[in-house]
Structure 1
């Protein structure tokens, strides 16, 4: 495919330039640790007129995972489901309902055996043959077992689907389990979080669409580009931890000044995720629990979130120095300039930061000053 042919008509109609499209794909490639040349390959895969079919099953959940995706701006939900993928079934987003929705799902499974991507959110109850969650007269357990064998790839979206989450907490009266535990002979990509960051799902899907294989996963089945580092390592409050400045009560002087929340039960030192650098809501720095003054409760980590007491102090796992030693300002809460540069430039975390910055600019012309700012940020590592 020639470069000039890469831009799909739908993107042209939306005012997106070929240059913007290729730049977005290149940033996504770099964020996953791939060479720059991989960006063109991603562009070719995305521009393919045959959009990859996706079937989204929702089970024992609160719809938070889907709501998180709905609030994604990079890309917007309509661009995702109309231009990038073919969302053939979703209880929340399908236009059809009842028998029509089920017929659409069955048709897609039949016509796309071995080709569709299966995304599951919500835990699967297993006690009493799984009767605690039924859809169209079938249990969630049977629906998953009937659908998964025909999928090209299976993705567990959110903590509930990854390892049971809140549904499996405490006494777990319904016997809720995660997808990997039920499909123990199938390779499952887990994207935990409550809710998970939608960009981690998007990046995983684009990688699979491009290379027809899953990204590199850790021992728990999580994509390494998103879950290879402790939250504590890149937290905006990390300089205060290193300097021994801690909040001991909500609303005390140190809490108001932005000190470390470790003594209030922050689970960042034992939780792996890219929360500090891939933020929710496109509202800038601070849009995550620690940023607004509440300790991380470890929702991406099995055995931590929904398991450990909320304000119990975390087990500091192999304390390592930050990749950048920023200056801590005891009277100035928030992220320091050095850490800002780290968040913008760190390749291991760039999938959200870079993808977010790139996709924000898809519908506007290049701004020389903005380009210079991004270049300056990339030198901060």
Structure 2
């Protein structure tokens, strides 16, 4: 990339109108989890800041995160890559390959040292000096450490990059681990998931691109706007949990009626992600909506946390879920009875007031 144009210049070069540019900025504001009063700041940044250079490295992974990324609907991944960022290196999305492509990586690192965003997909393999994961003829761990030194910020895409993922599952013969152990003190934005939601991936990189800083993070380095709630908190099946109504198998009446899947191993109560509100395929659905229990794929080491469809033994500090269900059922029944009694009293009072009103009118 010879000239680092702004997002607005990129839009105009492609023959798009300023109106389309503004609409794009509004969409970006929403997808970054920002309030509408931030639209003007997003527009200002998009007008003045040059497109950020992004280097995307692939470690020990399945390319699932890239596959998720290209399915983003707001913004479209094609718009993001062609208009909003300057993606200089990515094994899946770049046209180049081979030795010239690897040379381009080194030139990009040198030219934009200290300025580029480093996106990393996949775990770091360390067994036998990292030879289980080679890239460009070199162990991935060497490439990661070299490129990370010159990055302004690092985004770890997917649970493999954040915590080792499937490659790091026991007995972990390749010695795979998350990238945070090999990137020094550089700030890292963890975007876990297997894979992450497409719009979460685009929203995070655009936040760094437009504002030049990492978004607010939680204690595990995850963006709060996307990982601030448990799936349990935004799940449409939550009322059934609160009422103690659970499916006992995937083909029983409870499952058919959409009852809570907690007894079938759902990890929603301990998993932080945006599946319940953003969902997948532009908001169409997500695993729980399709009838499958959450496996907690954004949790560290989720592959080693027991059988995926075995019920969690406890629900936080509340204890056994069977007792919770029984207690909630009793409480619900008692609540209904109290509500019914209150309704009768209220009706009697209304009738009495109505009669008194008639008497008053008749006495006048």
TM-score w.r.t. length of structure 2: 0.80
After superposition, the Cα gap between the structure-2 partners of 1:213 and 1:318, relative to the gap in structure 1 and judged at 3 Å, is: farther
1:13 counterpart SS class: coil
TM-score w.r.t. length of structure 1: 0.76
Q: Does 1:212 align with 2:201?
A: no
Alignment of 1:1-381 (within 5 A): 8-10=11-13, 13=16, 17-28=20-31, 31-32=33-34, 36-48=36-48, 50-282=50-282, 284=284, 287-314=285-312, 315-317=314-316
Tell me the residue number matched to 1:363: none
Q: By how many angstroms is 1:7 displaced?
A: 8.9
Q: Deviations over 1:231-252 (max 9, x none)?
A: 1111111111111111111111
1:56 counterpart SS class: strand
Report if the CA contact (8 A) 1:10-1:83 is conserved: no
1:217 counterpart SS class: coil
What is the CA RMSD across the aligned residues, in angstroms? 2.1
Report if the CA contact (8 A) 1:26-1:40 is conserved: no
1:275 counterpart SS class: coil
Report if the CA contact (8 A) 1:7-1:47 is conserved: no
Report if the CA contact (8 A) 2:265-2:293 is conserved: yes
Deviates more, 1:68-77 or 1:82-91: 68-77
Q: By how many angstroms is 1:76 displaced?
A: 1.8
- More contact order relative to length (CA 8 Å, sep ≥ 6): 1
Q: By how many angstroms is 1:218 displaced?
A: 1.1
2:149 counterpart SS class: helix
Unpaired runs of 5+ residues, structure 2, are 1-7, 319-364
In 2: Cα distance, 1:200 partner to 1:28 partner:
7
After superposition, the Cα gap between the structure-2 partners of 1:125 and 1:238, relative to the gap in structure 1 and judged at 3 Å, is: same
Unpaired runs of 5+ residues, structure 1, are 320-381
In 2: Cα distance, 1:233 partner to 1:153 partner:
31
2:269 counterpart SS class: helix
After superposition, the Cα gap between the structure-2 partners of 1:48 and 1:108, relative to the gap in structure 1 and judged at 3 Å, is: farther
In 2: Cα distance, 1:213 partner to 1:237 partner:
36
In 2: Cα distance, 1:26 partner to 1:204 partner:
11
Q: Deviations over 1:38-70 (max 9, x none)?
A: 222212323447311100001111110000011
Q: Deviations over 1:357-380 (max 9, x none)?
A: xxxxxxxxxxxxxxxxxxxxxxxx
Q: By how many angstroms is 1:77 displaced?
A: 2.0
Tell me the residue number matched to 1:362: none
In 2: Cα distance, 1:21 partner to 1:137 partner:
40
Q: By how many angstroms is 1:216 displaced?
A: 0.9
Q: By how many angstroms is 1:164 displaced?
A: 0.4
Q: Deviations over 1:329-348 (max 9, x none)?
A: xxxxxxxxxxxxxxxxxxxx
After superposition, the Cα gap between the structure-2 partners of 1:252 and 1:19, relative to the gap in structure 1 and judged at 3 Å, is: same
Q: By how many angstroms is 1:181 displaced?
A: 2.4
Q: By how many angstroms is 1:101 displaced?
A: 1.2
After superposition, the Cα gap between the structure-2 partners of 1:19 and 1:146, relative to the gap in structure 1 and judged at 3 Å, is: closer
Q: Deviations over 1:262-300 (max 9, x none)?
A: 00000001111111011111262xx21111111000010
2:203 counterpart SS class: helix
Q: By how many angstroms is 1:211 displaced?
A: 2.2
Report if the CA contact (8 A) 1:65-1:158 is conserved: yes
